[in-house]
Amino acid sequence: MDAGAEINLTVKFSGRSIPISTSPDTTVKELKSLLQPLTNVLPRGQKLIFKGKVLVDSQTLKASDLTNGAKLMLMASQGLHQGDGPILKEARTRPIRRDNDACNAAKQKMVTHVDKTRLERWKATGVVALADCNLKAIPDEVWACGTSTRTLDISNNSIQDVPSQIGSLTSMQKFMLNANGLCDESISWEGLASLKFLTVLSMSQNNLTALPLALGSLGSLRHLDIANNKLTSLPDEIGCLTRLELLKANNNRISTIPAHIDGCCTLMEVDLSHNLLLELPETVCNLRNLKALHLSNNGLNTLPHNLFKECTSLCTLGLHNTEITIDNIRQFEGWEGFEERRRLKHQKQLDFRVASSAEFDEGADKK
């Protein structure tokens, strides 16, 4: 076999056949890294078997007697998975129940008509609550609310289109459109980007694969929930969200975090668990207000070395099911300060639970 030639392998895993092409000089450990994004199993949770023998991480494929066309079996340790949400199932949406014809007709009517009393209430309160209504489209009456709308909740429906009219709700502060099965083309991002007073945007449990550059125009945004989608990355423009305090991007397919994340200087909590991250940019250390960082179920094997030194408010760090060991991060400068903050927070939570659950009867010892 030529030195530069590749060998084609087939890895059997969970009822699937996964084709892999790589060099015979690739180590078994490197092969496991190649399999990680294809199987959602962390390398240390993989056991590769060839002809009844478990392959050794340090050996090359050639030394392991693997030749072109070889078939391997992959066994995964329970719990050592990452990014397993969106790849295993579609976004969760509320199913439409189909009862009798009269009921279906009434539900269909909800798509295009809202009674006058409800419309008046929306205008008076500023809250348009349409979650769990079996809607297929946003009713026209919503646009009639105009600048009266402060909150619009269309979660758990089957809405397929967020049109440009969304930009007419210029005073809207909270927009929830979770669990609708929305894809990238379903949303008028230009209309959404014109909502200059929007502070909460929640669009989890959809089928989004990318976020537009226009996201950076939402300068008032404080809470952004894009969890349980199919995102592979975050745009650089996310750094323009200088007022963002909470970012939930867990259960996606994100493999890299933009260096411009440090532009989100007010971030206090970031959830990136269940993704395909192998590293974090050093600029994460510039998030001085960061209190909680959730990174469980990723392929990370280290953290930015100044994380504990610079992020002096950090007291919660989730690293479950990653390659990072406690012995590794104990060597980082600032570890002692982080550990003290973590213990203090845990103790406060414990004290609160004890105090709130305790029942005291001052006459209990009297007969």
Output the DSSP codes for 162-181: B-GGGGG-TT--EEE--SS-
Assign residue 342 a region: left if phi > 0, alpha if psi is -120 to 50, beta otherwise?
A: alpha
* Residues ≥6 apart with Cβ < 8 Å to 80: 41, 42, 44, 45, 321
Read off the pLDDT band of 81 (50, 70, 90): low
Euclidean distance between CA atoms 9 and 149, whole angstroms? 57
Whole-number pLDDT of residue 78: 58
- In the predicted structure, residue 267 carries a pLDDT above the cut 50: yes
Domain limit, last residue, from 81, 115, 133: 81
Same domain, 171 and 259: yes
Euclidean distance between CA atoms 91 and 181, whole angstroms? 6
Same domain, 211 and 252: yes
Same domain, 32 and 175: no
Total count of domains within the chain = 2
- Residue pair 155/129 in contact (Cβ under 8 Å)? The answer is no
Residue 114 is classified by DSSP as -
9-58: per-residue pLDDT in tens?
Answer: 999 998 889 999 999 999 999 898 888 888 888 888 899 999 889 999 99
Residue 323 is classified by DSSP as S
Whole-number pLDDT of residue 5: 79
User: Is 149 within the bounds of a domain?
Assistant: yes
Same domain, 149 and 21: no
- In the predicted structure, residue 98 carries a pLDDT above the cut 50: no
Whole-number pLDDT of residue 315: 96
Same domain, 38 and 172: no
Same domain, 212 and 67: no
Same domain, 64 and 142: no
* Lowest pLDDT segment from 107-116, 147-156, 254-263: 107-116
- Sign (positive/negative) of CA torsion 162, 163, 168, 170? positive
User: Is 216 within the bounds of a domain?
Assistant: yes
Euclidean distance between CA atoms 231 and 141, whole angstroms? 32
- In the predicted structure, residue 296 carries a pLDDT above the cut 80: yes
Domain of 16, in residue numbers: 7-81
Same domain, 105 and 251: yes
Same domain, 145 and 252: yes
How large is the C-alpha radius of gyration of the chain? 25
Euclidean distance between CA atoms 225 and 249, whole angstroms? 6
> Please, what is the average pLDDT of the chain?
86
User: Is 219 within the bounds of a domain?
Assistant: yes
Percent of the chain with pLDDT over 90: 68
Residue with tokens 């990174």: 295
When pLDDT is averaged across residues 172-187 and rounded to a whole number, the result is: 95
Same domain, 42 and 120: no
305-340: per-residue pLDDT in tens?
Answer: 999 999 999 999 999 999 898 888 999 999 999 999
3-class DSSP state for residue 49? strand
Euclidean distance between CA atoms 287 and 314, whole angstroms? 10
- Residue pair 116/333 in contact (Cβ under 8 Å)? The answer is no
| Nearest to 266, CA basis, from 294, 291, 293, 296 | 291
3-class DSSP state for residue 329? helix
Max Cα–Cα distance, the chain, nearest Å = 93
